[in-house]
C-alpha cells in the first residue's frame, strides 16, 4: 500500500489542461507494467489518483498523461522537474498486445477519444513496431488502423506520435467534432469514420478507450460491421481507492475494475455495464 517516491524529470503540456509527466525512481522501482495498466499516483498532502501509464523508459522511467479535473490531478499537472510524487502499481489488466497474436490473426483497429489515447499510446507503439518487424522478416502481419478523435484540434494529444505511427505504416484517421479554419483532417465523431479506417473485419481485433458513450457506440458499430465481440476490448473507468481489490470502491456490477479491468472484453455483461452510471 505504501507509495514509492519518484522524482519528476520532465513535463510537457499536450493540450490545455493535459500534461505528460515523466518520473524516475528515487530508490526502489515498481515492477514492470503491461500496456494498458495503471498506477496510483500520490500528490503528497492531497491524495492519490488512478492514472494509466502512457509510456516508460530506461532506469525505471515512467510516463503518465494527466488531465486536470480536481485537486490531485491539478497538483500532478502543476508538478515541476525535481518535485517528488508517490507511485503504487502497476494495477489491473492490459490490452494484451505483448504476445503479438493480434496482428498474426488480422488487423488491429484502435479507436481513441480525447485523453483516451494516453492508455493506448504504448500499445500502439508496440503494434506498429511489431508490424514493421514482421514485414522486414517477410512474415504475415495485419495492419494497424487508428481512428483518433478529439472535440477540437487543440485538444488532440501526442501529435508527434501520430506522425511517427503514420510514418511507421499505421493507417491513421484523425477527426474532430468542431474544426477550426486551419483543420485539414476528418470532421465528426469517431464512429462516423470507422468504415473508412481501412481494416479487414475477418480476424480483426479492436481496442477502444474514451468516454463511455463513445466506447458504447464504437463497440456497437464494430459489432454491426462484423467484428466478433470477444475480439473487442474497452477500458472501464471507476473511482479507485485501494487498487488491490480490497475496498470495493471500484465495483461495477460483478466486476472490480481495479482487478478485472480496466481493460475488459466487450461481453454482453460489459455492454450492459457501459450504460450504467458511476456509483
Helices and strands of the chain, counted as H and E runs: 7, 15
Out of 228, 241, 269, 271, the residue judged to bind ligand FES by CB under 6 A: 241
HSE of 216, CA atoms in CB hemisphere, 13 A: 12
Q: Which residues contact 278 (CB under 8 A, 6 or more apart)?
A: 238, 239
Map the footprint of ligand FES across residues 203-222, applying CB under 6 A.
Answer: none
Out of 6, 38, 102, 158, the residue judged to bind ligand FAD by CB under 6 A: 38
Nearest distance, CB of residue 236 and ligand FES, angstroms: 11
Stretch that binds ligand FAD, among 68-76, 132-140, 179-187, 200-208 (CB under 6 A): 68-76
- Site track 234-253 with ligand FAD (rule: CB under 6 A), x = hit: ---xxxx-------------
Alpha carbon distance 127, 169 (integer Å): 10
Alpha carbon distance 39, 164 (integer Å): 26
Binding site partner of 237, from ligand FAD, ligand FES, none, Cβ cut-off 5-8 A by kind: ligand FAD
Out of 8, 166, 245, 271, the residue judged to bind ligand FES by CB under 6 A: 245
51 near ligand FES, judged by CB under 6 A: no
- Residues 266, 188, 12: CA angle, nearest 5 degrees: 80
Nearest distance, CB of residue 10 and ligand FES, angstroms: 29
Nearest distance, CB of residue 243 and ligand FAD, angstroms: 9
Q: How crowded is residue 208: how many other Cβ atoms within 10 Å of its Cβ?
A: 26
258 near ligand FES, judged by CB under 6 A: yes
95: alpha, beta or left, given left = phi > 0 and alpha = psi -120 to 50?
alpha
Nearest distance, CB of residue 268 and ligand FAD, angstroms: 22
Map the footprint of ligand FES across residues 67-96, applying CB under 6 A.
Answer: none
Q: Which H, E and C letters describe 84-145, residue by residue?
A: EEEEEEEECCCCCCCCCHHHHHCCEEEEEEHHHHHHHHHHHHHHHHHHHHHHHCCCCCCCEE
* Contact present, 145 and 112 (Cβ < 8 Å): no
Out of 13, 26, 44, 70, the residue judged to bind ligand FAD by CB under 6 A: 70
Binding site partner of 249, from ligand FES, ligand FAD, none, Cβ cut-off 5-8 A by kind: ligand FES
Alpha carbon distance 236, 100 (integer Å): 23
| 176-to-113, 191, 197, 212, 220 alpha-carbon distances in Å | 10, 12, 15, 18, 20
Out of 4, 23, 66, 204, the residue judged to bind ligand FAD by CB under 6 A: 66
207 near ligand FAD, judged by CB under 6 A: no
| Interface ranges with ligand FAD (CB under 6 A) | 38, 47, 49-52, 65-67, 69-74, 115, 118-119, 237-240, 262, 278
Amino acid at each position: 500500500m505504501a507509495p514509492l517516491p519518484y522524482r519528476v524529470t520532465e513535463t510537457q503540456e499536450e493540450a490545455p489542461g493535459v500534461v505528460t509527466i515523466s518520473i524516475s525512481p528515487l530508490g526502489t522501482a515498481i515492477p514492470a507494467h503491461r500496456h494498458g495498466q495503471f498506477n496510483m499516483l500520490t500528490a503528497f498532502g492531497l491524495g492519490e489518483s488512478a492514472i494509466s501509464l502512457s509510456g516508460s523508459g530506461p532506469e525505471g522511467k515512467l510516463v503518465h498523461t494527466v488531465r486536470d479535473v480536481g485537486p490531485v490531478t491539478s497538483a500532478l499537472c502543476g508538478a515541476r522537474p525535481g518535485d517528488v510524487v508517490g507511485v503504487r502499481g502497476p494495477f489491473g489488466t492490459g490490452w494484451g498486445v505483448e504476445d503479438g497474436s493480434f496482428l498474426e490473426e488480422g488487423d488491429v483497429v484502435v479507436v481513441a477519444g480525447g485523453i483516451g489515447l494516453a492508455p493506448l499510446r504504448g500499445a500502439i507503439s508496440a503494434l506498429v513496431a511489431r508490424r514493421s518487424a514482421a514485414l522486414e522478416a517477410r512474415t504475415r502481419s495485419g495492419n494497424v488502423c487508428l481512428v483518433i478523435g478529439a472535440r477540437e484540434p487543440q485538444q488532440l494529444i501526442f501529435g508527434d506520435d501520430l506522425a511517427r505511427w503514420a510514418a511507421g505504416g499505421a493507417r491513421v484517421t484523425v477527426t474532430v467534432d468542431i474544426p477550426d479554419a486551419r483543420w485539414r483532417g476528418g470532421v465528426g465523431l469517431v464512429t462516423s469514420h470507422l468504415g473508412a479506417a481501412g481494416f479487414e473485419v475477418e480476424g480483426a481485433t479492436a481496442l477502444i478507450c474514451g468516454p463511455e458513450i463513445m466506447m458504447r457506440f464504437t463497440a456497437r458499430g464494430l459489432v454491426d460491421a462484423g467484428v466478433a465481440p470477444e475480439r473487442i476490448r474497452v477500458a472501464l473507468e471507476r473511482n479507485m481507492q485501494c487498487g488491490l481489490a480490497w475496498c470495493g470502491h471500484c465495483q461495477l456490477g460483478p466486476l472490480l475494475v481495479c482487478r478485472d479491468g480496466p481493460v475488459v472484453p466487450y461481453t454482453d455483461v460489459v455492454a450492459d455495464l457501459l450504460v450504467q452510471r458511476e456509483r
